[in-house]
């Protein structure tokens, strides 16, 4: 399992990882509600199995509340003794650019097959 990257809190949106697959949105809303006002909770699910992927995003009311949530809840044992990973969520643009960079570093199957079928000159 790869270690999650800790991202600085620059917005009210938080990444919450290492969740129990049994956690539901109301559980997280209650947990984070003890730190501040929760605007939204979204547990990410696998669209084929409809099961949790083990992480979520929590939107707090302010950046200060989000920072407080990270300070109080990161590494806290929760639901079955699992230590939560709580950090700032990456911006959508940042996630896309990372995906594109990783896609570019791996040759596509089409480019490999084209280079193999063309003789060297």
User: Nearest to residue 12, comparing CAs of 75, 70, 79?
Assistant: 70
Mean pLDDT, the chain, as a whole number?
A: 83
User: Nearest to residue 33, comparing CAs of 64, 75, 61?
Assistant: 61
In the predicted model, what is the mean pLDDT of residues 81-85? 94
Please tell me the distance from the alpha carbon of residue 71 to that of residue 76, in angstroms, as a whole number.
10
In the predicted model, what is the mean pLDDT of residues 91-112? 56
In tens, the pLDDT along 64-78 reads 999 999 999 999 999
User: Nearest to residue 89, comparing CAs of 51, 49, 48, 40?
Assistant: 40
In tens, the pLDDT along 2-44 reads 566 677 899 999 999 999 999 999 999 999 999 999 999 999 9
Please tell me the distance from the alpha carbon of residue 74 to that of residue 86, in angstroms, as a whole number.
5
Q: What is the pTM of this model?
A: 0.74
User: Nearest to residue 72, comparing CAs of 96, 106, 36, 41?
Assistant: 36
User: Nearest to residue 19, comparing CAs of 61, 49, 64, 58?
Assistant: 58
CATH topology for the 1-90 domain: Alpha-Beta Plaits (3.30.70)
């Amino acid at each position: 399992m790869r270690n999650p990257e800790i991202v600085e809190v620059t917005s009210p949106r938080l990444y919450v990882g290492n969740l129990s697959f049994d956690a539901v949105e109301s559980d997280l809303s209650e947990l984070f509600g003890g730190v501040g006002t929760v605007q939204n909770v979204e547990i990410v699910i696998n669209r084929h199995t409809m099961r949790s992927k083990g992480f979520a995003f929590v939107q707090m009311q302010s950046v200060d509340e989000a920072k407080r949530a990270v300070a109080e809840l990161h590494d806290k044992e929760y639901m079955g003794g699992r230590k939560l990973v709580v950090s700032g969520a990456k911006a959508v643009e940042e996630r896309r650019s990372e995906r594109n960079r990783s896609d570019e570093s791996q040759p596509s199957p089409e480019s490999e097959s084209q280079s193999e079928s063309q003789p060297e000159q």
